[in-house]
């Protein structure tokens, strides 16, 4: 059985409009206003109305997309995803420079450098840092400290914009956590960009 709609006679609305408005805002459900026993209007909270408008716009866009696909227009989904996941050119150059510095410190123990986070996944803000994972074979505390110092030097050379958030992982541990399904490690490995 479906949920029963909220219904209020117009006389109740006239008598206590503030109470009815509060009910609409708190419930986030449409309120049907009746006049002479018949539905006359629907009242929505602003949030519900805006959500409904966004949903309608999304449906319009989906319908347009379906028409474009039927007409042989549009783009391959994987091509769009690959483009959306790209690093902006300045970020890519910065990560490449960081990788060179990390290699100078760690040599062949550097297994991978992976950019991830909002600057890679397409929703950065001006304050977003550049998240980078360095995967190191046989990581030691001294090595990690030297790698963090290298990242600091890269930031220094670029006036600390953007800030680089370097996470250093031992290769064996990173692989183990990924195999065990830890979401952070899986997301970085699968959706990050190897440089």
H helix intervals, 16-139? 17-27, 46-70, 77-84, 89-106, 118-121
Asked if residue 104 lies in contact with residue 134, where contact means CB atoms within 8 angstroms, the answer is no
Least confident of 38-42, 79-83, 179-183: 79-83
Give the pLDDT confidence score for residue 28 in this predicted structure.
85
Asked if residue 191 lies in contact with residue 119, where contact means CB atoms within 8 angstroms, the answer is no
Q: Three-state SS for 69? A: helix
Residue 82: which pLDDT band, with cuts at 50, 70 and 90?
very low
Q: 19-44 pLDDT, tens per residue?
A: 988 988 888 888 899 999 999 999 88
Q: 102-135 pLDDT, tens per residue?
A: 999 999 999 999 999 988 877 778 888 999 999 9
Give the pLDDT confidence score for residue 84 in this predicted structure.
54
Quote the percentage of the chain above a pLDDT of 90: 49
Give the pLDDT confidence score for residue 85 in this predicted structure.
59
DSSP string covering 1-25, please?
A: -PPPPEEEEHHHHHH-HHHHHHHHH
Asked if residue 174 lies in contact with residue 135, where contact means CB atoms within 8 angstroms, the answer is yes
Average pLDDT along the chain: 88
Full-model pTM: 0.57
Asked if residue 135 lies in contact with residue 143, where contact means CB atoms within 8 angstroms, the answer is no
Q: Is 76's pLDDT higher than 70?
A: no
Q: 151-179 pLDDT, tens per residue?
A: 999 999 999 999 999 999 999 999 999 99
DSSP string covering 94-111, please?
A: HHHHHHHHHHHHHGGGEE
What is the rounded CA–CA span in Å between residue 128 and residue 165? 10
CATH number of the structural domain 83-194: 3.30.460.10
Domain ranges of the chain: 6-70, 83-194
Give the pLDDT confidence score for residue 53 in this predicted structure.
86
CATH architecture of 6-70: 3-Layer(aba) Sandwich (3.40)
């Amino acid at each position: 059985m479906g949920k029963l709609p909220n219904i209020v006679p117009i006389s109740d609305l006239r008598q206590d409009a503030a109470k009815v408005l509060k009910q609409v805002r708190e419930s986030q459900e449409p309120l049907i206003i009746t006049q002479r026993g018949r539905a006359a209007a629907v009242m929505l909270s602003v949030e519900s109305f805006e959500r409904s408008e966004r949903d309608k716009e999304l449906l319009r866009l989906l319908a347009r997309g379906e028409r474009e696909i039927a007409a042989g227009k549009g783009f391959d989904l994987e091509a769009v995803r690959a483009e959306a996941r790209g690093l902006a050119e300045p970020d890519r150059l910065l990560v490449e420079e960081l990788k060179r510095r990390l290699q100078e410190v760690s040599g062949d123990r550097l297994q991978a450098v992976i950019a991830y986070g909002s600057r890679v996944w397409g929703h950065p803000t001006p304050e977003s840092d550049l998240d980078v994972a360095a995967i190191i074979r046989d990581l030691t505390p001294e090595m990690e400290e030297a790698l963090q110092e290298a990242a600091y030097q890269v930031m220094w050379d670029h006036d600390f914009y953007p800030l680089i958030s370097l996470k250093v992982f031992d290769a064996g541990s990173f692989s183990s956590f990924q195999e065990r399904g830890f979401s952070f490690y899986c997301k970085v490995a699968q959706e990050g960009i190897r440089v």
